[in-house]
Chain A
Amino acid sequence: MRGTWRAAWLIAVNDLRRRVRDRSLLIQGVLAPVALGLIVGVSFGGGPSFTATIGVANGAGESPIATAVVDSLVSGDASGDDGGDLSFVAIDAGDVQQAVADGNVDAAVVIAGSPENAVYGTQPVRIDVVGSAGSTLSASIAESVADSIAASLRTTKLAAATVVNLTQPSRSDAQQVFVEAQGVIPALVVDPQDVQSNFSVISYFAPAMAMLFLFFTIGTGARSVISERREGTLSRIRAAPVADSAVLLGKTLGVVILGSISLATVWAVTALAFGVDWGDPLGVAAVLFSVVIAIAGIALFVTGVARTENQADAMTTIVALGLAVLGGSFFFGASGVVSRLKPFTPNGQALNALTELSAGEGALLDVLPTVAVLLTVGALTGAVGVATLRKKVAV
């Protein structure tokens, strides 16, 4: 048994030495994941850059309420509440269409009917929103601004009309009630917060890309069994007193060490050179190691099932790219289908766990279920792969 392990170790070290000399490994294993992670990091470091200028117009003539609403928006009372860089400018009601069409403002809100008629009388509040067909996001934000204005006017109306209804005051007292009710503002405000204050997109995309390329590096290692059989080196090894199991163990050990070094280097480079916090080190190490096992298992399985080297190469690429697409390796924050399919892929499982760790919301214990799933996937697929490869070695 000791002899088997010794032989396996020698085969693993020999494989590793040969692979490390190959520059492709350095590119796929370390440089590419770090560079692609950085591109995303620089692009989205501070969240998506969204800026919108909303024009506000008083289309109600000499209305004091409309004037007050426009002034309060333009003076900046309401800006910043919408998560983006939102600014308001006063525009003339007659110029609204032109201003939007010319792109001077991204969308506009026009207080169309007299707010006094709505607050004191029985007419509805009328606000028009003019958006550009080319910027639906700005139009929907302008619509929400209009909703807020309408809600505020409605608050005044409700407060004053109910008091008047209950107390039936004299005409002058009623007017006083309406004036006071204009100071009533909605009792609830929304306070936007970022759920991922510690989270860095680099810590998402760097491992996502590293996992994609891991399929290629590990796949090449696994395929070496087939190529060595073809080139005859495998027969020469078997001529020595080395068991087939030692050869396969050595090859598997080689790809696992290679994958672990690749992911650990990506982690170290992004953490040390770019200050990315991946979260609890024990948790990160456990997830990275278990995803290497899972990917190694899948790569061995694919290689075992394939009949020729070329077929193994084709199947590895298809599986790698397919899992990357379904596992959300190419898009962050994707809603819909991708967010549902993600947990069914090993890379998606690992990315979800790494997201939690990086957000500072989890430690080793929290990611243990993911680690268990990944190790099981690796063990099952790897076992089938090794069994089929064993037949190839023996032939």
Chain B
Amino acid sequence: MNLRHRRLAVAQISRTELKRYLQDRIALFTTFLMPVLLIILIGSAAGSAPDEFVVGVLDADGSATSEQLVASLDDARAISVVTYDDEQELRRDIRLSLLSAGLVFPPGLSTSVDAGDEVALGLLTTQADQSAPSVIAAVNGAVADEGGRLAAAVFVEQQTSSSLAEAQAAVDAVDGSVPPAQVEVSTTGTARQEDENAFTGAATSQLTLFVFANGLFAAASLVESRRLGVSRRALSTPIGSGTLLTGLAGGRFSLAVLQAGLLLVIGALWFGVAWGSPTATTALVVVYCLVATGAGMLLGAVARTADQAIAIGVPLAIGTAMLGGTMWPLDVVGPVMRVIGHVMPQAWAMDAWSAIVNDGAGLSDVALEIAVLAGYALAFLVAGSWALQRKLTH
């Protein structure tokens, strides 16, 4: 077989593999529909979070002071208040993520404040929730304002002959004439696209997750054609094992590129994601698709049945996605998990995506990440081809 024939054979095998895969309805769902659905869900959930925290308030005091506090919390920046009568219900709704936090006003709050005591307000949050520090900070700021007014009234009562009610009225009168504080916020550096467009993070993470996952899922059809003897029969023709393996890999690689390409286009047109440097993005997509292809070839060689390939492939795809930072950013886990995460190719791809879309990195800036991914691709492809060839010829 000359080179031209070999090339034709590779193209033919790749085309057949791709066609077979695209005829499968599950494949179409996990390849295109599911990542897009997840981008919408994750993007809209992340996009709605920082604007306003919904805080549940349980007012066990029921005094004019506590009512005033509820009103001023509701007026505060970034907080919207929902009132509760039952603490169990309040706690449940926080656990079920219906609320960002819950604030409990203890009974006797106004009596203690009137006596000049400091009162601690229990702020219930879920520590496992990533937005906990922000919501605590927001409530802190809002409560401090009202607490200051109350403390000032007590001071006035002690220093003058006024009653507390008179002191409060006097403080309120002065309050109106004190100019509001000027807290000016400025930022240095350029804003990360991820912070401005919540769909950016969702699009890069789902692309990374699903290209790899699909590579693994495609192993099932490889096992099936191995089991049915299709691959062996192909080997009986003069094409040779190298051509067959290249063709099989080519089909999977084309599928990965098709999937990544479509997600890039949908990301740009539908979700407004700016993908940054075209050379860096192309290099990353190509090398990452090779990683996914290699991983699928390896699994296809190791698994004994198609069911087993799926049984291993699905948890492997989810597990490596979790560790590699595509289900949550590795910034929120501890240093040890960050190191373990970088054993997964996904973590390197996510680092490269972040640099490209957030910092405007070019090809040379993400050279390290791309080199590491190329290493993974080479290792998987060599190991997968070697194992497959052994299975087919022995």
Instruction: Point out residues on A near B: beta carbons under 8 Å.
Output: 22-25, 27-28, 31-32, 35-36, 39-40, 42-44, 46-50, 52, 81-84, 86, 97, 100-101, 112-113, 118, 122-134, 136-137, 139-141, 143-148, 150-155, 157-159, 161-163, 165-167, 177, 180-181, 184-196, 199, 201, 209, 213, 216, 220, 311, 313-314, 317-318, 321-322, 325, 330-339, 342, 352, 355-356, 359, 361
Q: Are B322 and A39 in contact (CB under 8 A)?
A: yes
CA distance A220 to B305 in the complex (A): 14
CA distance A32 to B123 in the complex (A): 36
Known: A144-B137, A196-B127. A213 touches B314 (CB 8 A): yes
Contact bitstring B65-86, A, C-beta under 8 A = 1, else 0: 0000100000000000000000
Query: Taking the complex as formed, is B63 at the interface, i.e. its CB lies under 8 A from any CB of chain A?
Result: no
Q: Are A100 and B188 in contact (CB under 8 A)?
A: yes
The residues of B that contact A191 with a CB separation of less than 8 Å are 120-123
**Closest residue of B by beta carbon distance from A359:** B95
Known pairs A132-B188, A188-B144 / 15 extra A-B pairs, C-beta < 8 Å: A22-B307, A35-B319, A46-B127, A81-B140, A83-B133, A124-B180, A143-B185, A162-B152, A162-B173, A167-B160, A196-B128, A216-B311, A311-B25, A318-B25, A331-B42
Q: Are B188 and A188 in contact (CB under 8 A)?
A: no
| Interface residue from A134, A313, A359 paired with B26 (Cβ < 8 Å) | A313
Q: Are A189 and B147 in contact (CB under 8 A)?
A: yes
Q: Are A154 and B148 in contact (CB under 8 A)?
A: yes
The total of chain B residues at the interface (CB under 8 A) is 112
B33 to chain A, nearest CB (A): 8
**Closest residue of A by beta carbon distance from B24:** A314
Of B243-251, B257-265, B332-340, B363-371, the one touching chain A: B332-340
Q: Are B319 and A39 in contact (CB under 8 A)?
A: yes
Known: A24-B307, A147-B141. A139 touches B315 (CB 8 A): no
Of B10-18, B44-52, B227-235, B345-353, the one touching chain A: B44-52
Known: A48-B130, A154-B178, A336-B49. A163 touches B160 (CB 8 A): yes
Known: A134-B192, A187-B119. A195 touches B91 (CB 8 A): yes
Query: Taking the complex as formed, is B358 at the interface, i.e. its CB lies under 8 A from any CB of chain A?
Result: yes
CA distance A144 to B88 in the complex (A): 29
Tell me if A's interface is mostly helix, strand, loop or mixed: helix
Query: Taking the complex as formed, is B9 at the interface, i.e. its CB lies under 8 A from any CB of chain A?
Result: no
- What are 17 A-B pairs at a CB distance below 8 A? A36-B322, A43-B333, A132-B187, A133-B191, A140-B137, A148-B140, A158-B171, A158-B175, A162-B167, A180-B159, A186-B146, A187-B119, A194-B124, A194-B127, A317-B30, A322-B37, A337-B44
CA distance A4 to B274 in the complex (A): 64
Ranked 10 nearest A-B pairs via Cβ: A186-B147, A188-B147, A147-B141, A155-B148, A32-B315, A47-B127, A144-B137, A24-B311, A150-B181, A151-B144
B201 to chain A, nearest CB (A): 12
CA distance A301 to B143 in the complex (A): 53
Query: Taking the complex as formed, is B64 at the interface, i.e. its CB lies under 8 A from any CB of chain A?
Result: no
Of B97-105, B281-289, B293-301, B381-389, the one touching chain A: B97-105
Query: Taking the complex as formed, is B150 at the interface, i.e. its CB lies under 8 A from any CB of chain A?
Result: yes
- B87-146 contacts to A, CB under 8 A, are 88, 91-92, 94-98, 100, 102-103, 113, 116-134, 136-146
Of B125, B140, B156, B180, most buried by chain A (CB within 10 Å of CB) is B140
Query: Taking the complex as formed, is B182 at the interface, i.e. its CB lies under 8 A from any CB of chain A?
Result: yes
The residues of B that contact A337 with a CB separation of less than 8 Å are 41, 44-45
Query: Taking the complex as formed, is B268 at the interface, i.e. its CB lies under 8 A from any CB of chain A?
Result: no
B103 to chain A, nearest CB (A): 8
Q: Are B186 and A128 in contact (CB under 8 A)?
A: yes
**Closest residue of A by beta carbon distance from B91:** A195
Instruction: Point out residues on B near A: beta carbons under 8 Å.
Output: 24-26, 29-30, 34, 37-38, 41-42, 44-45, 48-50, 69, 88, 91-92, 94-98, 100, 102-103, 113, 116-134, 136-156, 159-160, 162, 167, 170-171, 173-175, 178-192, 195, 305, 307-308, 310-312, 314-315, 318-319, 322-323, 327-328, 332-334, 337, 358
Q: Are B183 and A133 in contact (CB under 8 A)?
A: no
Q: Are B322 and A101 in contact (CB under 8 A)?
A: no
Of B92, B182, B323, most buried by chain A (CB within 10 Å of CB) is B182
Known: A147-B141, A213-B314, A336-B44. A163 touches B156 (CB 8 A): yes
CA distance A342 to B45 in the complex (A): 13
CA distance A32 to B317 in the complex (A): 11
A349 to chain B, nearest CB (A): 11
Known: A151-B147, A186-B144, A314-B24. A83 touches B189 (CB 8 A): no
Q: Are A189 and B128 in contact (CB under 8 A)?
A: no
A81 to chain B, nearest CB (A): 7
| Interface residue from B91, B147, B337 paired with A187 (Cβ < 8 Å) | B147
The residues of B that contact A180 with a CB separation of less than 8 Å are 155, 159
Q: Are A196 and B95 in contact (CB under 8 A)?
A: yes
CA distance A151 to B150 in the complex (A): 12
The residues of A that contact B181 with a CB separation of less than 8 Å are 118, 124-127, 147, 150-151, 153-154
**Closest residue of B by beta carbon distance from A157:** B178
Q: Are A133 and B190 in contact (CB under 8 A)?
A: yes
Q: Are A27 and B315 in contact (CB under 8 A)?
A: yes
Q: Are A339 and B119 in contact (CB under 8 A)?
A: no
A350 to chain B, nearest CB (A): 13
